[in-house]
Structure 1
């Protein structure tokens, strides 16, 4: 491929008032409108006492930020992408980045909680209007995890040095919902200072995530999955109060170690991974492992009897390749293993329960997706503004997942970046005729039929209740 004209024969002028750069915003924001996003903001977010009228028209400001994030904005200045060409002819109430920045900085902890309530109800509405979580009436998985997001600037509230030498971070916590047939959506999020422990406030966070799953239609078996940072009596108790099951990595503490070493050699069953798993220390690929279980293991024996829990302890062991590499040429006298136990009351057969627990790693895809999108930056120096930004990103993530679910089988499981490239970032020219607006899109767009199906679906009359 090469340019078809000489440099002197080509010129560029930014003067067309009938063009927009993101034609896909029309069906995406129509879906948000049908799911009642603006009305939820009006009902729930009350920025009373905000300076200089920052709390006025909160619905227009929230939808402007959501639209900017859908288009790819990862900072407050990037929200200016909405103010170009023919955008005012298609969308009313677009706000300037300076106005949106003032709006975010007016948030307090209470306002952030109000916005999280909007997020949860918006997810429920998306799940009602779109096939967002197929099969959620039978089985759903709620995954809880945390991440650290690097930030810059000495004035970032809550940013501290913790795990990474010379790196200042903030500490988002998130819970996702998925089914065996769907990609995860975000149930709830929480912004925390860098040095906050993962387990701090975990029972309340888990209760909120489980309740949100029920509101989103997950009325069947719900299984909470988490890593060892969330292995505590409070989290297990929250699951049981909510009528959910749990599958939590417990690590090799002394009690678990004694239980694991008591497993007879004949109890281990061989499994093979469908795809190789890299060894975390050597990088070599692992294709096989062995699994065994203790059917009745009592956890938290140091607590009072009412807080002790008896359930299954399932252990996966793999060859410790790092230690095997140090053995002399005479060969090893006995195999060296690395153990990965988890505590669960999942009633599935042992190998299925182990496979479902390993699938907890799907939450890492959501974290990677966030850092490649709107969470590439936490743009404000104000902690609660960043907390609001995190919640708005979660709403955008779920909105794009619902958009993909309405579009095609391929887009149901596509990443956010792919959805944005295929369905949102499409240039369009508007034409007016007989009080109607027509979008003229590029000829031979590769995903034309998927986009047209999405457009027709969200603009069709709503089905009767």
Structure 2
């Protein structure tokens, strides 16, 4: 694509007060208003002094800025341009919002957690955030990630398992085979903290929130996690709340002994990268195979604290490592093993495929790091912890809005929040007034006009507003 005029024939002006760069904020913040975001924040937050005044409006402003793509306090200025003041009231300056966040204590962050949980419950009543069939599992995935920071002024920063200086964010997401993930709970922790620290409480809180969601009432839940969370506290917290677990097991001597006891004829080929489906034998031709064996976890603990289940093992041939260019077979077969402990009722092959889908939470981590968590804005730990909670609320709000527009933007496999912002949020528009009505003039031939219109009509827009 080329510019149709020479630079000398093009001029620019920043003097039009009726322009908008993010017209999609209108229906999305109407959705947030209907879900009670401002009222919930005003009710639950007790941040002291004038810094905490009008907490509902300040939280709404921060969430709106993140929905529009802000990844720092300065970026909140995106809410104060053009005609934004004609559509929204109480739009605070970035410096005011920064002072508000720095006034948070740990208790205020937990209050904001309560707001995020109740906002998600309200969104689930207005949108199709999570839809689960009668015989399907709802998946609760737990994982942590390092958010890189620079300089020693960041409280709590340190070098964790990745070798990167940063702070550690622990997340719990919920998804179904037909729904994109949403964030149930989040915690910001010191950078050098161990992954499972606080996971027990996070799982317990997440399952409590999940049970309250409108579409998930009574559904079966499967908690998935990697080997860092294979511990008695986390596993029993999930089982005590009525969920099944699927957690990667560490290759300790007990697990190795269980693998050695699997019969050679028990292995079943599975669908794996580069696998070929043979219609004649109705099976996959694959180097990867899977088998299972009954297993009791945590046998070193008291008898009533042990957890019965099964160990699902996937093995992959180990090629000759001496010759990197030739896949030379050895004198006898060697394999690499990946194991996970599960209490689910899924058969061996389906259980393995389901456990591998735990990687969906990695997409959520990447999505957040490409938007609101691209950087942590403050040197104050509690301000950054509150920023993480606000980022989770913006993520869920964006996902809820996407479900209203139709299946094209609702699934994680087809749209990240950046895609949603590009298509239905960051849309240029011009404001006009006629007969006491505000009219939004949107671009002609906008490719995603129908999706935006569906979102706008769902919330009916602000009073006395029309769209052309």
2: CA distance, partners of 1:17 / 1:327 = 64
How far the C-alpha of 1:136 sits from its partner, in A, is: 6.3
Q: Secondary structure at the match of 1:197?
A: coil
User: Structure 1: where are the runs of 5+ without partners?
Assistant: 277-285
Tell me the residue number matched to 1:70.
67
Q: Secondary structure at the match of 2:180?
A: coil
Alpha-carbon distance change, 322 to 235 in structure 1, aligned in 2, over 3 angstroms? farther
Alpha-carbon distance change, 143 to 136 in structure 1, aligned in 2, over 3 angstroms? farther
Q: Which of 103, 107, 111 is 1:114 aligned to?
A: 111
**Is the CA contact 1:41–1:115 (under 8 Å) kept in the aligned structure 2?**
yes
1:1-44 C-alpha deviation (Å, 9 max, x unpaired) = 33222322221111111111111110110110111111110111
Q: Which of 301, 304, 315 is 1:303 aligned to?
A: 301
Q: Secondary structure at the match of 2:92?
A: coil
1: CA distance, partners of 2:227 / 2:328 = 37
| 1:418-429 to 2 correspondences below 5 Å | 418-429=419-430
Tell me the residue number matched to 1:99.
96
1: CA distance, partners of 2:35 / 2:257 = 53
Q: Say if 2:129 is the partner of 1:132.
A: yes
How far the C-alpha of 1:272 sits from its partner, in A, is: 2.0
2: CA distance, partners of 1:185 / 1:238 = 21
RMSD: 1.9
1:375-403 C-alpha deviation (Å, 9 max, x unpaired) = 00011000000000000000000001011
Q: Say if 2:59 is the partner of 1:88.
A: no
How far the C-alpha of 1:303 sits from its partner, in A, is: 0.8
Alpha-carbon distance change, 443 to 329 in structure 1, aligned in 2, over 3 angstroms? closer
2: CA distance, partners of 1:362 / 1:311 = 24
Tell me the residue number matched to 1:376.
374
| 1:54-453 to 2 correspondences below 5 Å | 54-135=51-132, 138-165=136-163, 167-217=164-214, 218=216, 219-273=218-272, 288-294=287-293, 296-321=294-319, 323=321, 325=323, 331-413=329-411, 414-453=415-454
2: CA distance, partners of 1:68 / 1:328 = 53
How far the C-alpha of 1:305 sits from its partner, in A, is: 1.0
Q: Secondary structure at the match of 2:341?
A: strand
How far the C-alpha of 1:162 sits from its partner, in A, is: 3.1
Q: Give the aligned length.
A: 447
Tell me the residue number matched to 2:25.
25
Q: Say if 2:50 is the partner of 1:35.
A: no
Alpha-carbon distance change, 328 to 33 in structure 1, aligned in 2, over 3 angstroms? closer
**Is the CA contact 2:41–2:115 (under 8 Å) kept in the aligned structure 1?**
yes
How far the C-alpha of 1:288 sits from its partner, in A, is: 3.8
Q: TM-score, structure 2 length as denominator?
A: 0.92
1: CA distance, partners of 2:327 / 2:96 = 70
